[in-house]
Every structure is written in structure tokens, then in C-alpha cells.
Amino acid sequence: MRIHTAIKQLQDIDTLNITDEILINILALEKYFKEYEFIHAFIGDNKLKKLSKNIKFDPACKFLLEIRKEIDNIFVDEFPYYRKTYYRDLLDSVIAQTEYFVLKNKKKY
């Protein structure tokens, strides 16, 4: 899986998995939600939040859209976890909120 260039330069890169990469890119979008709270609560590893600050808006969006397109090749839906469904729905929600609240329905991607 392709790792985001902004993350590549950081030390603990070998410990990141695809879930971490998705989360980091979602967290990177938070600062662009000026009028609305995007992430209501984050109780994950603080290292991931710090890594997200190095990622700009366009690369984060492109990464998440790329992952969304490849979701069938990355995750599977197995009882009881249904990871593909979960990540597909999560990414669809993040993309829709970004288009509506940040881009103001002026689709850029």
C-alpha cells in the first residue's frame, strides 16, 4: 500500500498499517473544518494526531479517495467485523462532509 509522502519522512513509519494511514489522513482534514466540529472525540494514539499535522488538505483528500476506490482490494467483509463495509461507509461520510462543509459543495475531486 502506498504510504503518504508527508508520513514517509517521519520515524515510526514501519509501525503504521493501513488503518493508521486512513485515520491520520482523516485527522489531517480536521483543521479545515472552520465552522463545524469534524472529529468529536479522539481517544487514539496521540502520535497519530501529531503525524496528521504534517499532511495538507489536497494530499489527504486524494489519499482517502484513492483508498475508497481500492476498498474492495484492501478489506474483506467477514462476519462479525465487516471491515470493508465499515471503511467504505466511514470514507463515504468523510468525503461527503468534506465536500459539504469545507468545499461548500464545489466538488474539487
Q: Which of 75, 72, 91, 86 is nearest to 29 (CA)?
A: 91
Taking the model in full, what pTM does it have?
0.83
pLDDT at 61: 96
Q: Coil, strand, or helix at residue 63? A: helix
pLDDT at 1: 47
C-beta of residue 16 within 8 angstroms of C-beta of residue 7: yes
Report the chain's mean pLDDT, rounded to a whole number.
87
pLDDT in tens, 58-70: 999 999 999 999 9
pLDDT at 10: 53
Residue in the block written with cell 495538507: 56
Mean pLDDT across the stretch 88-100? 95
Cell readout for 47 is: 502520535
Question: Residue 80's pLDDT band (boundaries 50, 70, 90)?
Answer: very high
Q: For 100, left (φ over 0), alpha (ψ -120 to 50), or beta?
A: alpha
